[in-house]
Structure 1
Amino acid sequence: MKNVLLVEDEEELTAIVGVVFEEEGYEVRKSNSAEAALELCQSYRPDIIICDVKMGKMDGFMLLEKLKAAERLKDVPFIFLTAFDESQARKKGLNLGAVAYIAKPFDIEDLLKTVRNLVPPA
């Protein structure tokens, strides 16, 4: 079973996306901050990461930079899922190595399709 790390500070969105991905056959781990996600990744290697941009002290851009610098995590596909949809932010995210930048509100089927194309569930 492939696993997804969902880094999002909106609890309701985290719950909904988590349930949808679990129903599709993914194992989902959740983190409500970039700091907690970074700590989790010390002992866990997700198959894909879906992350918000704007969170507490550390934003999603900083998290992506730190993960790309870690040898065992640098190849993990990273998707931004965010309400922060300015062209500069999108460009920055993709330049840092994100494979996709999806703006909220979003269609859950589009997110699922993107993830399935990168990491099929089984």
Structure 2
Amino acid sequence: MNKILIIEDERETRDMFIEALTEEGFETIGAKNGRVGIQKTQKYLPDLIICDVTMPELNGYQVLTTLRQNPRTAAIPFIFMSALSDEAERHEAMRLGANDYLTKPCTVEKLLQAIAKFFNSIDRQRI
């Protein structure tokens, strides 16, 4: 079972995605901000992280930068999900090492498509 960490400061959004991903068979963990997200990443070592950009304490860019500096968490795939939709934001996310960037509002279906695309590419690499 693939383990996914959702780092999102808006509780309703976080809970909606956790519930949907759990129903799809993923082991899903939630974190209410970037600092908690880093702690949970180090504790659970998820297979994929989905993270908001704009959050209190640590923003998503700071989370990704911190995780990429730690050998235990550096290779964990990372998808940003943000209301910041301009090209400069997307470019910054990719420069920092994000694997994808989804804009909000993001439907459950759109998120599931991004996750499926990601896990399918990993499966193809293993063949």
- In structure 2, what is the Cα distance between the partners aligned to 1:43 and 1:8? 18
Shift of 1:108: 1.8
Name the counterpart of 1:11.
11
Name the counterpart of 1:65.
65
Query: Which structure has greater helix proportion?
Result: 2
Name the counterpart of 2:98.
98
Matched, 1:28 2:28: yes
Structure 1, unmatched stretches of 5+, are none
Shift of 1:96: 0.6
Shift of 1:117: 2.2
Change (3 A) 1:70 1:13: same
Which letter does structure 2 place at the counterpart of 1:85?
S
Shift of 1:23: 0.8
TM superposition score normalised by structure 1: 0.93
Identical-residue share of aligned pairs (%): 32
Shift of 1:61: 0.2
Which digits, 9 at most, give the CA deviation of each residue in 1:27-63, with x for residues without a partner?
A: 1100011001112222220000000000012100010
- In structure 2, what is the Cα distance between the partners aligned to 1:56 and 1:107? 23
Residue pair 2:42, 2:72 contacting (<8 A) in 1 also: no
- In structure 2, what is the Cα distance between the partners aligned to 1:43 and 1:16? 23
Deviates more, 1:64-73 or 1:109-118: 109-118
Residue pair 1:50, 1:78 contacting (<8 A) in 2 also: yes
- Relative contact order (C-alpha < 8 Å, sep 6+): which is higher? 1
SS at the partner of 1:43? helix
Matches within 5 A, 1:72-111: 72-111=72-111
- In structure 2, what is the Cα distance between the partners aligned to 1:62 and 1:78? 13
TM superposition score normalised by structure 2: 0.89
Which letter does structure 2 place at the counterpart of 1:55?
M
Name the counterpart of 2:49.
49
Residue pair 1:48, 1:119 contacting (<8 A) in 2 also: no
Residue pair 2:42, 2:73 contacting (<8 A) in 1 also: no
The aligned length equals: 120
Root-mean-square deviation over aligned CA pairs: 1.1
